[in-house]
Structure formats: structure tokens, C-alpha cells
């Protein structure tokens, strides 16, 4: 059975056979149909409406008349998207509901250009499928069964530069959410067959109450058995249509079995779910019986099955089928007098949608802002993801598998009227808000002062009135850069003091023009600190005072005596390095690690400075965070969150008694990769860590991994720079061999080091392996490639795992690691790519684990019975099926 993209030239030829059905739970959009138009399609009886209420962009077109013949009416119109990279439908749905979603495309030379376009279809922030139109006359449709993740669904058409995207119809059918369950992911239709069809035609609603499309499937070695009665679905939640169930196939030679297989070549690496529908269609005599077993790749899988007379039963796979070989045989049992039958079958592939949507409250908030101000721009679909299509004027933070958050919003010069809307308060992570040069009226709302992360608030050039809330003024003294110039009716304080002069409220704003300026100045401060005792209560030098206030903004400054107290006079040493020593301590109930700079090394001071600069810029769940600092005379110290479980190397070493499971290893690798990805791709300008190694990956109480030690890190001096030269630093075994000779520093040096760490995680061996016998030292990458050349994955993976891992994910992880340690840096992947690959490994392993847990039954078969219907209800006789 081979099918992927489902082609049709004609939908249904048949007249409806059953009475009109309820269309509740249907959303049937005829795309491009003029606004407010509706009609009932004559062959199916489906009521279509215009799509105009669900999308703001695109233009309505029609296919040429010669292509319309034989096609259902909803394909006659289409919506085409000559403008914009991404255009999205916005459907308000209920979270947790399960829908069959079908998109249909008939080109029909609508633009009279005869150029067949290719474009992408996205479901929310994820790629659903790539659409390739192969013939003007041939329509294609793609179907997915998907559980709605929030209160809306975005279906987007994305221009990939290969022609103008369009869509003919978008149909959603609410399903019973107990059906078509997967362990992970959605289900993309691969094939849905009416096995041994008598009509040879495709059909859908009204024969199928869920409007699934069924294709005929006939074979020479299979023959038809049929009934003229209705096959009822009863309590079978799948509700397979009688039209498909009334006909079944049985082998021509009744002593043989029904054998079929899935050809996965069109969907390499896919995982399959299978749904087989059975019903007895012959009235059996007392001395007759039909009983059969199902075998999968030669192994007994499920049985015995005795189909019920005129009532459907559905059997489905409980977990995804993988492995590349999918042969199914249905054998009659020894005591069965009749050969096996198969009435209908559905095959789906698993579609993983890994990218999370933006934090739901923020989508709602920003959508409301869009509506209130009537903003057009490219504000469609998810605001933050995919990153390439993020909305203009806002930036987001992306941290691995957490929903993205909106961190800056620039609506400057956007012609905004009215008051500042309260929805802004839902954007709780907002750091930057620019509403300048608009016509905003009313007061400066108090709620703005509740945005804890806000560092820049620009309200210049509006018509705001009233008094600036005192809480905001307070904030502005503590680092918020507040600008309210050019609002003639706005008072700074009571009695009204108008802000005629520049920046009245903002004493320190001028020095905080941007983060990058801040970092440069910060370096100066450290130099200042070296020379003299810094002010403790902030009444001396203005410049440094301001900067301390800024530091205080996020990180707290501690006196040396406080550091002595928190470490109980440096009682417990956690480790030492070239820079100095790290001590255990606590501030109230919070455990901390205190790194004290050893002043004996000038390298140490530089590293210390580098670390402060870097840590001040970066904030990510997978990077250790700075809690405070101390700078009293010669005593320079940094206070970090305490990582209770120490470093990764300890857990990988032979001496460790706690063996990390494969799932934990993949997760730690992914988290460390995300930290590094953030430094490379999330920071502007990017940061190169330069000392990625397993001892610099720290684990907290919950074994969450964080990258630490930024003492060697380098920032690209200019944005867009791709490399810089610097003296060689790093650790033997992790150092990029190319960099060692070229002395040109790129992100790829970190990728190499990360690859070495990944190999350590997979193998449990150190970066440099000392042979016990002959004292020969081998680099881990050489060791791995020597084993790989034998194709022996099992002996690469840490033997302490005892084979308890998903082999495919292990292969993939090894492959990624080996690419990372390529000698030629151009062959190495980016950290983005590494993160993507590792997250796929992790999902595969997690699916394996949940598969094991969810499938505790001793039944060797991997199938379950969905629902039996034993009672036979009233049967309706219906006329002969037209041929
Ligand atoms: C469609 O109907 C709505 C509500 O009845 C109306 O506001 C809108 O103007 C109509 N659109 C067109 C194009 O007729
Ligand atoms: C199925 O849908 C119902 C509401 O129709 C909801 O209460 C339930 O949680 C859903 N079940 C699952 C597994 O999503
Ligand atoms: C039917 O199949 C059986 C077993 O494979 C075989 O022995 C027999 O010859 C076949 N009969 C015909 C008519 O092909
Ligand atoms: C079942 O019984 C009928 C007569 O009632 C007979 O004709 C037929 O051959 C029998 N079939 C089998 C498989 O024994
Ligand atoms: C999507 O539609 C809903 C309901 O019509 C609306 O509230 C929301 O603002 C829309 N979202 C976007 C991004 O346009
Ligand atoms: C978003 O980030 C880009 C690139 O870093 C920057 O050019 C732009 O100004 C930012 N926009 C806002 C609204 O902060
Ligand atoms: C904000 O938008 C305005 C107008 O579009 C632009 O001039 C300004 O550079 C933007 N600011 C940032 C930080 O991107
Ligand atoms: C202010 O916005 C208007 C359009 O609303 C624009 O023409 C003008 O250039 C903007 N002024 C500044 C200083 O950005
Ligand atoms: C601010 O302006 C609005 C009209 O835009 C007016 O209704 C309101 O009374 C004014 N508030 C103050 C305090 O002047």
C-alpha cells in the first residue's frame, strides 16, 4: 500500500445514500468565496461558508472553468497570497478538542500563468507539510488528526520562494478525542482504504459522519465478499462508515492469508499507526465459522478475531510502528471454516510538532493589542515562532522547550490612538516598550510599573495627560529608562510640574542608552574599583554610583563581611581553578556558590571581568545565574546559584555510583546544548564560551544542566562578525584542532568541544582515554571512529546502561557528536541544528519509555480493541450501489 499525498481528480460521484446528517463540529471553509456567502455542496450536502472571517489577507480567485467539471464546488474558488511571507488563518477552537483537519489545493490555472507553485503549510509554529502542485487539473489534499493545544489554531501558508501559495478549502471535523490517540505527536493521513470497493469511487460525508475521505482498494489476489445490509457502528467510537464496511476482501484462494505491507519509501523514518476495521458480512450457518489471527513481520500480533455480523470492530496499534519493515498477514485459525476478511483500513504517520507556541496569555494579550489599534503589518499567526516569521516590532526570548515569551515591543510611529491598553500587563517578561510618536491619550497607567523586567519605557511624543505614577518614577530611579518628552499635558509630580525639559524624571537614563554601552562602561567600573575603595552607601562619585545602582538592578552587591558570613568564613571549599577558589555558602535559605578571585594571577582578573560582563548580559535557564557580587578592595567575589549535584564529569566517571539513564543523558546534553545555542544565536553580539567541557556543565538538585564558567568567553566585537582571533585558551581534549593551528576563533570551536562532551555522555569515557596496559593516550573521537568503522553501535554506548536505550536515538546522538568533532569546521553543525537533533533523540527515547509503561499487558500483541458492538440494531435495507 503506497500513498502519501492523496490525489483525486473527482471527489464523489455517488448520490447520498443516507439521510441528511448533522454537521455540528464541522468547520467548512470555501477559501476565496466572497465574504458572507454560503451554499450547500450538491454532491455531499456539506454547507460551506466563506473563509473571509478567518483571515485578513490574500485575494479570492477562481480556477478556470474547464477545470471545474467533475470537481466539488468548494474547489472552484481559492485564496491566493501574493503578499507576505506567511499568511495565517485564525480559528477559535477549544483546547483539548481533537480535529481532523484537511487542506485542499486545486490550482486549475487560476492565475493563467500555468506555473505550478510549491509552498509550505504550517500548523501553528510547526511545519505541517510542503505542498507541491504537480498538475493544474489534479487536486491534492492533506489531512491531519490533531489535538488543539490552546484556544485557537493558526493554519499558515508560507511562501518559500517557489511560487505564490494558495488554498482551495480548509475543513475541520471534530472527532471523539478517545479515538486516534498517540503517545506523542499528531497523525498525518497516509492511506484510508475501503477494502474491496464495489463502486471504485472515493467517498466522504454523508456516508462517513466524520467526513473522512475513503479510497477504493482492490487487488487481483483478493476477492469481494459483501452484504446489502447496513453495517452499524454502534458504540464503536471510530464510527467506520457502512459503505466501507459492507464490502470486504478475502483471499481468492481460500486456504491462503491476506498479506499486505506498507511501503514507507515516500516517508523515510516515519512511524506508523494502523487502524483495521472488521465486520462479518455473510450470514454464517451453524456449522460455519470465521476466525483469524494477525501477524506482524512474521510474528503473532493479535487474535483470534471473530468479526461480529453487521457490526464493526476496530483494532488499532497502541504504540507507533517503527523499523522500516511493515508486513501484515491475516491467517485463518485451524478451526475456522472460512477465510479471513478485511473491510477497511486506515494508516497514519506520526507528525511531531516540537516547537511550542508562544505563551498563551501573551498571544491573547498581543492579539488584543492588535485588534484595539487595528494593526496590520505582518501580525498573523504565532507572534514569536517560527522565529523567521516573528511579528515586526516585537522580539521574544526563546529557551529550548519552553513557550517563547515576548520581551520587547516597539510600536513607535504606528499611528496609535486611544489609551494605553491594560493587555500590556499580561506581557510580564517585557523588557523594552516603545510607544513613542503616536497619538495616545489618557493617563500613564499605574500597571506599567508592575512590569518587573522593564528596563526601557518610551512614551515620548504622545498626548498623554495626568500625572506620572509615583511607582514609575521610583522605578526610574532604580534603573528604568523612562522617557516622557513631548507630552505637553503630562505632569511629573503634584503639584503639576510639566516636563518641558528633557528627561526630567530620568536622572540616569542618559548613561543607560543600551546594554552594549552599559557593558563597556562596566569594564571601566571594574578598573575604577581596582584603584580605590568603592562607595558603600552611594554618596560619592556620581558615575560609579549610577553604575552600582544599575548593577543592583539585577544582582545584589555584598560586603566582604557578608561574604564571610554566608560562607561561614570560607569553611567549605567546592573547587579551585586558575581564577581562585569556589566556596559553599547560603544567603538565608538559598544555597549559593561563592567564587573568590585570586589576585595573584592577572589572567584571573581578566577572566573575572569577562565573567561579570558575560553573566550580566545573559539570562537563560541553562546557564548558571549570578546572584550577587562583592567588590571590596582586594576582595572580588561572584555569588552564583548553588548547583547541588556538582558537575557532569563526576557522574560520567567510573567512580560514580549514580548511573545516569539514557533519557537523563539526552536531556542533560540537550540542556547544555540549549545554553550554548543561546550564547551563539540568542545573544547580540554572540558569545563564544571557549571552555565547554564536562566539568563546566553543572547539575542542580533536579539534575537540570547549566553551563558554567564564562571566564574565557569572548564576545564578537561587531554584530555580524563571524570570527575573531585571540590567544589560545581551553582545555586539552576539548580544543578544536583547527583553531589550534589557525588561531581564528569561531562558534565552531565551541561546537567541537560540545561534540567531545556529547561523546563522553554517550560512552561514559573521558575525553582522553588512557590505556591501562601500554600508557597510550587516545582521544575519545578516535576511539569512537575506530568502533564506528565496525558499525557496532552497542559497544559505543556506555555499557553501564546495559542496553536500556532506544537504538535509533543512540545512532542519531552518535552521528551528531561525530559531526561536531569533524576536523573540518565547515562540516560541523550549528548549535541550532544540534539542539534540534538532540530534541528528536530525546522524544524518541521518551516515546520508548512511555511505550513500555503504557503497555504493561502481557499480551504480546501490540494491539487493542477499541470497541465492540455486540448488539445488532435495526438494519436498513438500502438499494443496490450504483456502479
Ligand atoms: C458581512 O456581514 C457582516 C455582518 O453581517 C457585515 O458587517 C459585513 O459588512 C459583511 N461583509 C460584506 C462584504 O458584505
Ligand atoms: C476529551 O474532550 C473532553 C471534552 O470534550 C475533555 O474534557 C477531555 O479532557 C478530553 N480528553 C482528552 C484525553 O484530551
Ligand atoms: C491454494 O493455496 C494452497 C496453499 O498455498 C495451495 O496448495 C493450492 O494449490 C492453492 N490453490 C490454487 C487453486 O491455487
Ligand atoms: C454446512 O452444512 C451445510 C448443510 O446444512 C452443508 O451443505 C455444508 O457443506 C456444511 N459446510 C461445512 C463446512 O461443513
Ligand atoms: C484570532 O481570532 C480571535 C477571535 O476572533 C481574536 O480574538 C484574536 O485576536 C485573533 N488573533 C490574531 C492573532 O489575530
Ligand atoms: C529586536 O531584535 C533586533 C535584532 O537584535 C533589533 O534590531 C531590534 O531593534 C529589536 N526590536 C525591538 C523591538 O527590540
Ligand atoms: C522602533 O521602531 C521605530 C519606528 O519603526 C524605529 O525607528 C526604531 O529604530 C525602532 N527601535 C528599535 C529598538 O528597534
Ligand atoms: C512619527 O510618526 C510619523 C507617522 O506617524 C512619521 O511620519 C514621523 O517620521 C515620525 N517621527 C519620528 C521622529 O519618528
Ligand atoms: C485627560 O484627557 C482626557 C481626554 O483625552 C480627559 O477626559 C481627561 O479628563 C484628562 N485628564 C486629566 C487629568 O486632565
Pocket test residue of 393, 408, 458 for ligand 6, highest count of atoms within 8 A of CB:
408
CATH, residue 105 = 2.60.120.430
> Which residues lie closer than 8 Å to 69 by C-beta, 6 or more apart?
none
Task: Tally the residues of the chain.
Answer: 883
Pocket test residue of 33, 34, 36 for ligand 1, highest count of atoms within 8 A of CB:
36
Give residue 503's pLDDT: 39
- Ligand 4 neighbourhood includes 337 CB (under 6 angstroms): yes
Tell whether the model's pLDDT for residue 736 goes beyond 90: no
Instruction: Please state, in angstroms and rounded to a whole number, the distance separating the CA atoms of residues 290 and 753.
Output: 63
- Ligand 4 neighbourhood includes 514 CB (under 6 angstroms): no
Query: Do 173 and 26 meet the contact criterion of CB atoms below 8 Å apart?
Result: yes
Query: Of 351, 382, 398, which marks where a domain is finished?
Result: 351
Task: Give yes or no: 792 in active site.
Answer: no
> pLDDT category, 324, cuts 50, 70, 90?
confident
Instruction: Please state, in angstroms and rounded to a whole number, the distance separating the CA atoms of residues 568 and 576.
Output: 18
Query: Of 504, 531, 550, which marks where a domain is finished?
Result: 504
- Ligand 4 neighbourhood includes 785 CB (under 6 angstroms): no
Angle between helices 662-677 and 747-763 (to 10 degrees): 170
Q: Is 814 helix (H, G, I), strand (E, B) or coil?
A: helix
Query: Do 157 and 104 meet the contact criterion of CB atoms below 8 Å apart?
Result: no
Q: pLDDT digits over 444-487, tens only?
A: 999 999 999 999 999 999 999 999 998 999 898 888 999 998 99
Q: Which of 608, 682, 681, 672 is nearest to 639 (CA)?
A: 608
Tell whether the model's pLDDT for residue 54 goes beyond 80: yes
Helix H or strand E segment including 756: helix 747-763
Instruction: Please state, in angstroms and rounded to a whole number, the distance separating the CA atoms of residues 172 and 168.
Output: 14
Residue 392: nearest ligand to its CA?
A: 6
Please check whether residues 637 and 653 belong to one and the same domain. no
CATH, residue 267 = 2.60.120
| 618 Cα to the center of ligand 5, angstroms | 33
> Which residues lie closer than 8 Å to 513 by C-beta, 6 or more apart?
none
Please check whether residues 653 and 616 belong to one and the same domain. no
- Ligand 4 neighbourhood includes 254 CB (under 6 angstroms): no
Please check whether residues 219 and 301 belong to one and the same domain. yes
Give residue 120's pLDDT: 96
- Ligand 1 neighbourhood includes 299 CB (under 6 angstroms): no
- Which residue's alpha carbon is at the smallest distance from atom 3 of ligand 9? 442
> pLDDT category, 279, cuts 50, 70, 90?
very high
Instruction: Please state, in angstroms and rounded to a whole number, the distance separating the CA atoms of residues 227 and 714.
Output: 76
In a domain, 822, yes or no: yes
**Per-residue 3-state assignment (H helix, E strand, C coil) for 817-872:** HHHHCCCCHHHCCCHHHHHHHHHHHHHHHHHHHHHHHHCCCCCCCCEEEEECCCCC
- Ligand 3 neighbourhood includes 255 CB (under 6 angstroms): yes
Catalytically annotated residue among 208, 434, 691, 798: 691
Give the pLDDT mean for 320-346: 94
Query: Do 557 and 551 meet the contact criterion of CB atoms below 8 Å apart?
Result: yes
Specify the range with the lowest mean pLDDT, choosing from 63-77, 85-99, 460-474, 738-752: 738-752
- Which residue's alpha carbon is at the smallest distance from atom 9 of ligand 3? 253
Structural domains of the chain, count: 5
Helix H or strand E segment including 675: helix 662-677
Instruction: Please state, in angstroms and rounded to a whole number, the distance separating the CA atoms of residues 618 and 453.
Output: 14
- Ligand 3 neighbourhood includes 256 CB (under 6 angstroms): yes
**Per-residue 3-state assignment (H helix, E strand, C coil) for 284-333:** CCCCCCECEEEEECCEEEEEEECCCECECEEEEECCCECCCCCEEEEEEC
Mean pLDDT, rounded, of the chain: 82
Q: Is 797 helix (H, G, I), strand (E, B) or coil?
A: coil
Cell numbers standing for residue 237: 467510537
Q: pLDDT digits over 817-852, tens only?
A: 988 998 888 888 899 889 988 988 898 888 888 775
In a domain, 626, yes or no: yes
Query: Do 675 and 704 meet the contact criterion of CB atoms below 8 Å apart?
Result: no
Please check whether residues 598 and 740 belong to one and the same domain. no
Q: pLDDT digits over 525-568, tens only?
A: 333 333 333 333 333 333 333 333 334 434 567 888 888 999 99
Give ligand 6 pocket residues (Cβ under 6 A): 393-395, 408, 410, 432, 684
Q: What is the DSSP letter of 52?
A: G
Cell numbers standing for residue 731: 582545555
Residue 415: nearest ligand to its CA?
A: 8
Q: Which of 681, 664, 673 is nearest to 753 (CA)?
A: 673
Instruction: Please state, in angstroms and rounded to a whole number, the distance separating the CA atoms of residues 135 and 117.
Output: 10
| 278 Cα to the center of ligand 2, angstroms | 27
- Which residue's alpha carbon is at the smallest distance from atom 8 of ligand 9? 442
CATH, residue 790 = 1.10.510.10
Please check whether residues 592 and 473 belong to one and the same domain. no
498 annotated as a binding-site residue: no
Cell numbers standing for residue 170: 480548509
Please check whether residues 422 and 556 belong to one and the same domain. no
- Ligand 1 neighbourhood includes 36 CB (under 6 angstroms): yes
Cell numbers standing for residue 160: 518559500
Give residue 532's pLDDT: 33
Residue 408: nearest ligand to its CA?
A: 6
> pLDDT category, 211, cuts 50, 70, 90?
very high
Query: Of 451, 481, 504, which marks where a domain is finished?
Result: 504
Please check whether residues 628 and 734 belong to one and the same domain. no
Please check whether residues 216 and 338 belong to one and the same domain. yes
Tell whether the model's pLDDT for residue 123 goes beyond 70: yes
- Of all atoms in ligand 1, which is nearest to the CA of residue 36? 1
| 137 Cα to the center of ligand 2, angstroms | 40
| 34 Cα to the center of ligand 1, angstroms | 10
581 to each of 254, 577, 578, 585, 601, how far by Cα in Å?
81, 6, 8, 13, 12
Domain that holds residue 494: 360-504
- Which residue's alpha carbon is at the smallest distance from atom 14 of ligand 3? 253
134-144 in b/e form (b: 16+ CB < 10 A) is: eebbebbbbbb
Please check whether residues 88 and 218 belong to one and the same domain. no
Q: pLDDT digits over 153-181, tens only?
A: 999 999 999 999 999 999 999 999 999 99
Pocket test residue of 35, 38, 51, 53 for ligand 1, highest count of atoms within 8 A of CB:
35
| 97 Cα to the center of ligand 2, angstroms | 7
- Which residue's alpha carbon is at the smallest distance from atom 9 of ligand 5? 367
Q: Which of 730, 749, 752, 729 is nearest to 739 (CA)?
A: 749
Give residue 495's pLDDT: 66
| 369 Cα to the center of ligand 2, angstroms | 31
Pairing of strands 439-442, 463-467: parallel
- Which residue's alpha carbon is at the smallest distance from atom 2 of ligand 7? 412
Tell whether the model's pLDDT for residue 504 goes beyond 80: no
12 to each of 64, 192, 211, 244, how far by Cα in Å?
21, 15, 12, 14
Amino acid at each position: 500500500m503506497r500513498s502519501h499525498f492523496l490525489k483525486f481528480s473527482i471527489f464523489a460521484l455517488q448520490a447520498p445514500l443516507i439521510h441528511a446528517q448533522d454537521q455540528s463540529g464541522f468547520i467548512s471553509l470555501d477559501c476565496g468565496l466572497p465574504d458572507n456567502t454560503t451554499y450547500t455542496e450538491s454532491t455531499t450536502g456539506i454547507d460551506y461558508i466563506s473563509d473571509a472571517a478567518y483571515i485578513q489577507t490574500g485575494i479570492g480567485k477562481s480556477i478556470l472553468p474547464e477545470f471545474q467539471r467533475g470537481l466539488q464546488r468548494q474547489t472552484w474558488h481559492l485564496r491566493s497570497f501574493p503578499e507576505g511571507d506567511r499568511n495565517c488563518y485564525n480559528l477559535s477552537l477549544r483546547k483539548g478538542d481533537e480535529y481532523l483537519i484537511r487542506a485542499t489545493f486545486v490550482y486549475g490555472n487560476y492565475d493563467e500563468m500555468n506555473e505550478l507553485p510549491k509552498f509550505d503549510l504550517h500548523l501553528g509554529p510547526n511545519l505541517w507539510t510542503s505542498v507541491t502542485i504537480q498538475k493544474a487539473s489534479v487536486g491534492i489534499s492533506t489531512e491531519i488528526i490533531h489535538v488543539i493545544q490552546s484556544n485557537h489554531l493558526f493554519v499558515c501558508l508560507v511562501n518559500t520562494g517557489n511560487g505564490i501559495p494558495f488554498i482551495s478549502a480548509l475543513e475541520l471535523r471534530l472527532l471523539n478525542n478517545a479515538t486516534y490517540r498517540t503517545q506523542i505527536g499528531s497523525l498525518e493521513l497516509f492511506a484510508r482504504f475501503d477494502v474491496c470497493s464495489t463502486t471504485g469511487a472515493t467517498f466522504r460525508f454523508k456516508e462517513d459522519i466524520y467526513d473522512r475521505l475513503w479510497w477504493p482498494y482492490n487487488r487481483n489476489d483478493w476477492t469481494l465478499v459483501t452484504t446489502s445490509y447496513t453495517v452499524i457502528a454502534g458504540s464503536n467510537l471510530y464510527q467506520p462508515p457502512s459503505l466501507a464496511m459492507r464490502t470486504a476482501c478475502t483471499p481468492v484462494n481460500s486456504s491462503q492469508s491476506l498479506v499486505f505491507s506498507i511501503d514507507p519509501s515516500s516517508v523515510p523514518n516515519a512511524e506508523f499507526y494502523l487502524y483495521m476495521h472488521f465486520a462479518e458480512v455473510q450470514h454464517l450457518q451453524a456449522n460455519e465459522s470465521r476466525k483469524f489471527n494477525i501477524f506482524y513481520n512474521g510474528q503473532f500480533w493479535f487474535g483470534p478475531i471473530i468479526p461480529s455480523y453487521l457490526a464493526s470492530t476496530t483494532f488499532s496499534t497502541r504504540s507507533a510502528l517503527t523499523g522500516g519493515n511493515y508486513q501484515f498477514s491475516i491467517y485463518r485459525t485451524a478451526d475456522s471454516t472460512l477465510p479471513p476478511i478485511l473491510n477497511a483500513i486506515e494508516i497514519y504517520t506520526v507528525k511531531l510538532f516540537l516547537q511550542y507556541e508562544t505563551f498563551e496569555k501573551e498571544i491573547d494579550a498581543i492579539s488584543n493589542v492588535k485588534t484595539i489599534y487595528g494593526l496590520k503589518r505582518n501580525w498573523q499567526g504565532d507572534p514569536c515562532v517560527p522565529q523567521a516569521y516573528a511579528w515586526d516590532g516585537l522580539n521574544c526570548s526563546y529557551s529550548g522547550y519552553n513557550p517563547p515569551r515576548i520581551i520587547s515591543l516597539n510600536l513607535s510611529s504606528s499611528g496609535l490612538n486611544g489609551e494605553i491598553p491594560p493587555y500590556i500587563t499580561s506581557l510580564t517578561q517585557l523588557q523594552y516598550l516603545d510607544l513613542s510618536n503616536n497619538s495616545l491619550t489618557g493617563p500613564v497607567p499605574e500597571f506599567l510599573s508592575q512590569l518587573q523586567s522593564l528596563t526601557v519605557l518610551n512614551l515620548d511624543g504622545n498626548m498623554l495627560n495626568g500625572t506620572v505614577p509615583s511607582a514609575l518614577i521610583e522605578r526610574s530611579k532604580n534603573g528604568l529608562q523612562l522617557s516622557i518628552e513631548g507630552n505637553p499635558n503630562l505632569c511629573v509630580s503634584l503639584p503639576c510640574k510639566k516636563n518641558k525639559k528633557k528627561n526630567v524624571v530620568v536622572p540616569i537614563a542618559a548613561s543607560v542608552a543600551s546594554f552594549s554601552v552599559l557593558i563597556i562602561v562596566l569594564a571601566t567600573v571594574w578598573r575604577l574599583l581596582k584603584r580605590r575603595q568603592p562607595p558603600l552607601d552611594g554618596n560619592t562619585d556620581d558615575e560609579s554610583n549610577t553604575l552600582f545602582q544599575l548593577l543592583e538592578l539585577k544582582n545584589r552587591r555584598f560586603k566582604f563581611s557578608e561574604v564571610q558570613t554566608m560562607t561561614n568564613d570560607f569553611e567549605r571549599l567546592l573547587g579551585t581553578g586558575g581564577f581562585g577558589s569556589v566556596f559553599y555558602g547560603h544567603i538565608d535559605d538559598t544555597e549559593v556558590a561563592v567564587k573568590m578571585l585570586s589576585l595573584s594571577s592577572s589572567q584571573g582578573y581578566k577572566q573575572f571581568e569577562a565573567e561579570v560582563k558575560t553573566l550580566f548580559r545573559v539570562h537563560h535557564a541553562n546557564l548558571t545565574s549570578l546572584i550577587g557580587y562583592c567588590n571590596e578592595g582586594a576582595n572580588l567575589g561572584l555569588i552564583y546559584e548553588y548547583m547541588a549535584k556538582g558537575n557532569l564529569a563526576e557522574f560520567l566517571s567510573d567512580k560514580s555510583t549514580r548511573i545516569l539513564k539514557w533519557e537523563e543523558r539526552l536531556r542533560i546534553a540537550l540542556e547544555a546544548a540549549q545554553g550554548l545555542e543561546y550564547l551563539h544565536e540568542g545573544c547580540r553580539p554572540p558569545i563564544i564560551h571557549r571552555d565547554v567541557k564536562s566539568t563546566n556543565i553543572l547539575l542542580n538538585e533536579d539534575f537540570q544542566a547549566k553551563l558554567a564558567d564564562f571566564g574565557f568567553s569572548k564576545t564578537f566585537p561587531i554584530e555580524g562578525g563571524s570570527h575573531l582571533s585571540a590567544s589560545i585558551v581551553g582545555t586539552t581534549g576539548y580544543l578544536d584542532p583547527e583553531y589550534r593551528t589557525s588561531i581564528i576563533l569561531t562558534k565552531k570551536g565551541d561546537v567541537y568541544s560540545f561534540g567531545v562532551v556529547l561523546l563522553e555522555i554517550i560512552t561514559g569515557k573521558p575525553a582522553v582515554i588512557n590505556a591501562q596496559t601500554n600508557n597510550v593516550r587516545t582521544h575519545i573521537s578516535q576511539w569512537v571512529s575506530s568502533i564506528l568503522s565496525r558499525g557496532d553501535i552497542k559497544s559505543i554506548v556506555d555499557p553501564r546502561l546495559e542496553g536500556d536505550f532506544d537504538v535509533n536515538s543512540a545512532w542519531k546522538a552518535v552521528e551528531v557528536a561525530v559531526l561536531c568533532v569533524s576536523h573540518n569546521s565547515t562540516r560541523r553543525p550549528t548549535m541550532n541544528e544540534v539542539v534540534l537533533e538532540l530534541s528528536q533523540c530525546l522524544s524518541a527515547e521518551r516515546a520508548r519509555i512511555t511505550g513500555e509503561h503504557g503497555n504493561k499487558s502481557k499480551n504480546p500483541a501490540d494491539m487493542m480493541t477499541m470497541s465492540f458492538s455486540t448488539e445488532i440494531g435495526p438494519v436498513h435495507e438500502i438499494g443496490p450501489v450504483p456502479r
